[in-house]
Chain A
């Protein structure tokens, strides 16, 4: 029987200044899931992750990690969790190998085992050549990978990633995605917060959206995306278009004279759109989806909540 990797019940946090960061959050994350936790800045994501990882004190509520209560049995619950934080937070004067091996030591893993594990992880994350460098000499992308290596050395069952690809180039982002998919496939439950909604859409199976300290959506990614009733398509044109022909079926706007943005409802077929292009003798070189669908939905939800 599958158990919950994470169970949160009525979690509340009020900071000293009186700010209600969490207003009774309840959430379940299933074992083996790849779970997205999204929300705008100041929504309560960092507070929620902070409490799960013991970096922030709760005001009230309960958390269980693989059935172990975080507050009554912290040692057991904490041993399941690995955290990749948003900010670089290792000692800048320690060597890469020391950082990873020491982290294993804090989880009670002996030095010989820790060194072997560190070698495997550092090789996988392409940091082995840098193992004897002090961490301050690493590039930004390498520092991000070191955060992942450090979080994985004790082989956590639940890996929490807080903006893991913030500020890294596309190549590193893509390779990080592949690595996370591999870890998840091997059985590690992953919770991901990110501002790159494309990242959440590509990686995660389930999603929760938090805003103003409350969960406003919690469902599967598929179910959420099915709520979208239209898609926006970008068409790149062979020749410049001086004036957009009128259409009663599509909402069309010009990005520049070589590309159009067209809103297509779910009920409309893509063949009909091509018929419309042919009818108006518009030669199309290529078409693509505009950004990602989750972003549109996310913005709609947040804006809708704020208007209430």
Chain B
């Protein structure tokens, strides 16, 4: 790629990212506030009221055990929701055409939208971390693991959101996956409990849930222990992310959902 083309692509990428970030900050009562309120309630109810009766999970207080799961839950749902909603809106109002007719390469369009998803996921995740400081002592065992798991999980679910947005034809299609797939998988991914408490059969089933690896890898980064080994967890997250990236780019290149 020549310098000129590289600069043009970088400008286009920056434009998409800026537009996406401005969008979710402009509608912050819909994009940022709900997660902050919901997670505060989780801390009050599950952390303080119920958590005090539960006592400790493993050898950490229950509220400290669920804090990483709640952060990851916010990151996952916000990354996904941002991209699926934004991409579907651009299709619905047809302003996706602005990008398609332009010389912006498809991989830049892809990077632009998922950067928006990562920005929102990480922004909301950071806010939940701030909230958690009011309820529990917040220590980080490994900053590298913590940051890389948040980034990769946010990337993975931004890609998944984009693929959902590509196939979505009506507003119902935007909410089906988050409601019926994402939320159950997140709850069953070990946000509130260790899968060691489950019967062996359900413990095995839980290990097929990719969100289980993200939540536990993040927990590993924060409290230094979890239900998973860190290396296999990273491999699983990276493989899924790579497959989703290739799939999303192939769909955009074919014009699925955006071209006739």
Contact = CB atoms under 8 A, between A and B. Distances in A.
Interface of A: 15, 50, 53-57, 74-76, 78-79, 81, 83, 85, 87, 89-94, 98, 102-103, 105-111, 150
Contact of A55 (B16, B95, B105, B259): B259
B164 to A, nearest CB: 20
B260 A91 contact: no
Query: Which secondary structure dominates chain B's binding surface?
Result: helix
B90 A106 contact: no
B205 interface: no
Nearest to B260: A56
B93 A108 contact: no
Contact of A106 (B23, B104, B260): B104
Contacts of B104: 106-107
B7 interface: yes
Contacts of B15: 102, 105-106, 111
Nearest to B90: A91
A89 B99 CA distance: 12
Interface string B73-99: 000000000000000011001110111
B255 A57 contact: yes
Contacts of A76: 103
B11 A108 contact: yes
Contacts of A90: 93, 95, 98
Given A90-B95, A91-B95, A106-B15, A57 B102 contact: no
Nearest to B98: A103
Given A57-B255, A91-B90, A110 B11 contact: yes
B7 A108 contact: yes
Query: Which secondary structure dominates chain A's binding surface?
Result: loop
A108 B101 contact: no
B94 A150 contact: no
Nearest to A92: B93
B169 interface: no
Contact of B100 (A54, A92, A108): A54
8 contacts: A15-B260, A55-B97, A78-B101, A85-B94, A89-B93, A90-B95, A107-B103, A108-B9
Contact of A56 (B18, B19, B259): B259
Interface string B1-36: 000010111011011101100110010000000000
Interface string B235-260: 00000000000000000000100011
B100 A55 contact: yes
Contacts of B99: 106
Contact of B260 (A50, A105, A107, A108): A50
B143 to A, nearest CB: 34
Question: 6 tightest CB-CB pairs across the interface, nearest first?
Answer: A108-B8, A105-B15, A106-B102, A89-B94, A75-B103, A78-B103
B103 A79 contact: yes
Contacts of A92: 93
Nearest to A87: B94
Nearest to B102: A106
B177 to A, nearest CB: 24
A102 B98 contact: yes
A81 B8 contact: no
A235 B244 CA distance: 71
A21 to B, nearest CB: 9
**Chain B CB within 10 Å, residue with most, of A74, A85, A105:** A105
Nearest to B259: A57
Contact of A85 (B9, B12, B89, B97): B97
